[in-house]
Amino acid sequence: MPARPGKAALFEQFAADGITHMFGNPGTVEQGFLDLAGAGATRYVLALHESVAVAMADGYARAAQRPSVVQLHSGVGLGNAAGMLYQAKRGGSPLVALVGEAGVRYDAMDAQMAADLVAMAAPVTKYATRVLDPSSVLRVLRRAVKIAMTPPRGPVLVVLPADVLDQDTAESAVATLVPSLRAVPEPAAVAEAARLLTSGTAPLVLMGDGIAASGAQRQLTAVAERLGAPVWGVNSSEVNFDTTHPLFAGNLGHMSGADSARVVGGADTVLIAGTYVFPEVFPSLANPFAPGARIVHIDADAYEIAKNFPVDLGLAGDPALALGALGAELASRGGAAPARPAAPRRPHGPHGPHGPHGRDGQQGRDGRDGQHGQHGRDGRQGREGLMEAFARELAARAPANLAVFDEALTASPALTRHLPPRVPGTYFQTRGGSLGVGIPGAIGVKLARPDLQVVGFTGDGASMYTVQALWTAARYGVSAGFVVCNNRRYRLLDLNIERYWQEQGIAPHAYPDAFDLSRPEIRFADLARSLGVAGQRVDAPEQVGPAVHAMLTHDGPYLVDLVTG
């Protein structure tokens, strides 16, 4: 291969791996390779903040099921991106983050922006490394793609010193080989799993995003039907199980282990598939499963099996193949159970469906967010009814190719009540704990899947973390809809502190002023227009229909400021 600068070979490797987009925010130390960004087949997508770039790349990777590339600027850019990288790590998104730095030659200088970037990235990535020699630029890039895409998937970071990229390399750009780990457990282990799971009378299935990553939805459904077991989502942010299926019971929360314990404590046989247990902020230190319960855990990530609580049998392998084998074994034993409706065993914590910064909760079969229902207890039923009306209208007008990115938080139950997640690849929920993924995540989904009509929902507080993403949508003409569920406060924090008061024996009183977002009022439609995005404010029922129509038919990005409080 003829020698050429590493900065040019970089784009040849992107082309070999079919990488068509690079999300980023530029800086001086990356100027060498960004100077070449317009010449190749990889499109540079400019974001105005690194968290936006990572969230777009995360949405892209989730929708495309392929690696996405994000460029970050040195230590300051990596610092800005850390929260969203954590989200990608918790969610298993195959991101490759390229971080520029001035050069290896300056290591001894402790100069401006100098930092140990690999050490900074270690807690929020699956793997982090630094290229030190030009003859290994492409070798390390291929390794990064391989590691990001090999189950369990996750973000990988590569530090690219400018002086290394400026030097020549004779490496060939060839497609990265991602090894297949799609192994099925041995027949004896599968038979033992079937024996354990049919040994009781109160079965339960706990599932998560490992199902979607493996494409195991059909196999999981067959096993649940054979067992006649209610199915609960644990770390479930995609379509892992049809939520209209009579066995679907709801999603556990991400706040208190006591809530999960109330669900799992009555089961005498438990199948855990494609998830770890339990992803809570305040997990139970005591084993929440019933004494004597028989537990089988299937996951592609052996680390997660029996990580926190003992199980009777752990099967490390591809969930689709393992569940397929388990379903066949159960069928051979006969006695298929009818798909009876799941009991409405909703946890009773006062939390919304899914949220970050300690704002997580759970959504049960009835779709309400905690013990006060979707309207809370502060007399705002009329305004919050707009979310119900908007979701109903969107469902009535929704095209067959509608995809939803759901960061609606406390408004999510109304959304999923009218648009229940059913089809894989058309529903993506926030995960991992980072606020602000709704708008940029929807942009990433739309860029990965231009055939989909994408609508992203976010909260008023969450949107302000990454509202600059609207500018990127306008710049590139991304025809997606965005809905800001505007209750003028961090409503989920209200619900969480109510529970805290109850647990601590504190009398209810006024919420902390820090939870209020109404002073001054944020006019999201005006803000969107200042960033080049058309939009409108909806604060009355008669405005809902026209707003939904405008959002679905507008040529370009469109934002609805939906006032729910």
pLDDT tens figures, 463-506: 999 999 999 999 999 999 999 999 999 999 999 999 999 999 99
Would you tell me the crossing angle of helices 217-227 and 319-333 to the nearest 10 degrees?
A: 30
If we measure between CA atoms, which residue out of 432, 531, 530 comes closest to residue 59? Answer: 432
pLDDT in tens, 110-154: 999 899 999 999 999 999 999 999 999 999 999 999 999 999 999
- pLDDT of 367 reads 37
3-state secondary structure of 379: coil
Residue 458: which residues within 8 A CB-CB, separation 6 or more?
407, 408, 436, 437, 438, 439, 482, 483, 484, 485
Number of Cβ within 10 Å of residue 366's Cβ equals 11
Please report which confidence band the pLDDT of residue 369 belongs to, taking 50, 70 and 90 as the band edges. very low
What number is the average pLDDT over the span 17-42? 93
Residue 159 has pLDDT above 60, yes or no: yes
- Percent of the chain exceeding pLDDT 90 equals 88
pLDDT in tens, 229-247: 999 999 999 999 999 999 9
CATH 3.90.1640.30 corresponds to the domain 4-169: no
What number is the average pLDDT over the span 439-452? 98
- pLDDT of 27 reads 95
User: For 152, how many CA atoms within 13 A lie in the half-sphere containing its CB?
Assistant: 23
pLDDT in tens, 332-350: 998 655 555 565 544 433 2
What number is the average pLDDT over the span 419-446? 95
Instruction: Report whether 319 contacts 215 (CB < 8 A).
Output: no
Please report which confidence band the pLDDT of residue 1 belongs to, taking 50, 70 and 90 as the band edges. confident
Instruction: Report whether 334 contacts 219 (CB < 8 A).
Output: no
- Give the helix/strand (H/E) hosting 471: helix 469-475
Residue 17 has pLDDT above 50, yes or no: yes
Number of Cβ within 10 Å of residue 329's Cβ equals 20
- Percent of the chain exceeding pLDDT 70 equals 91
Q: What is the DSSP track for 410-460?
A: GGHHHHHHHS---STTSEEE--TT-TT-HHHHHHHHHHH-TTSEEEEEEEH
What number is the average pLDDT over the span 351-373? 36
- pLDDT of 254 reads 86
Residue 353 has pLDDT above 80, yes or no: no
Place of tokens 């965005």: 482
- Give the helix/strand (H/E) hosting 75: helix 74-91
Listed by start position, the domains of the chain span: 4-169, 187-333, 386-563
What's the CA gap between 409 and 518, in Å, rounded?
Answer: 18
**Which pairing describes strands 363-364 and 248-251: parallel, antiparallel, or unpaired?**
antiparallel
Residue 375 has pLDDT above 60, yes or no: no
368 phi, psi to nearest 5 deg: -90, 155
What number is the average pLDDT over the span 201-212? 97
Residue 188 has pLDDT above 80, yes or no: yes
What's the CA gap between 542 and 565, in Å, rounded?
Answer: 17
- pLDDT of 110 reads 92
Place of tokens 């038919």: 553
What number is the average pLDDT over the span 25-43? 92
Residue 168: which residues within 8 A CB-CB, separation 6 or more?
3, 4, 5, 6, 134
More confident residue, 129 or 254: 129
Question: Which tokens belong to 38?
Answer: 């317009």
512 phi, psi to nearest 5 deg: -55, 140
- pLDDT of 334 reads 84
187-333 has which CATH code? 3.40.50.1220
What number is the average pLDDT over the span 199-205? 97
- pLDDT of 373 reads 33
- Give the helix/strand (H/E) hosting 495: helix 491-504
3-state secondary structure of 197: helix
- pLDDT of 253 reads 85
- Find the angle CA(248)-CA(154)-CA(76) to the nearest 5 degrees: 125
- pLDDT of 335 reads 61
Q: Measured between alpha carbons, how far apart are the two ends of the chain, in Å?
A: 63
Residue 193 has pLDDT above 90, yes or no: yes
What's the CA gap between 207 and 235, in Å, rounded?
Answer: 7
Residue 473: which residues within 8 A CB-CB, separation 6 or more?
439, 443, 480, 482, 533, 557
386-563 has which CATH code? 3.40.50.970
What's the CA gap between 355 and 485, in Å, rounded?
Answer: 14
- pLDDT of 345 reads 42
SS3 per-residue string spanning 267-307: CCEEEEECCCCCCCCECCCCCCCCCCCEEEEEECCHHHCCC
Please report which confidence band the pLDDT of residue 50 belongs to, taking 50, 70 and 90 as the band edges. very high
- pLDDT of 40 reads 83
Question: Which tokens belong to 17?
Answer: 């791996």
- pLDDT of 348 reads 35
39 exposed, middle or buried (CB, 10 Å; 0-12, 13-18, 19+)?
A: exposed
User: Torsion-angle region of residue 449: left (phi > 0), alpha (psi -120 to 50) or beta?
Assistant: beta
Residue 495: what residue type? L
- pLDDT of 346 reads 44
pLDDT in tens, 293-329: 999 999 999 999 999 999 999 999 999 999 999 999 9
Same fold: 4-169 with 187-333: yes
What number is the average pLDDT over the span 366-387? 47
Please report which confidence band the pLDDT of residue 383 belongs to, taking 50, 70 and 90 as the band edges. low
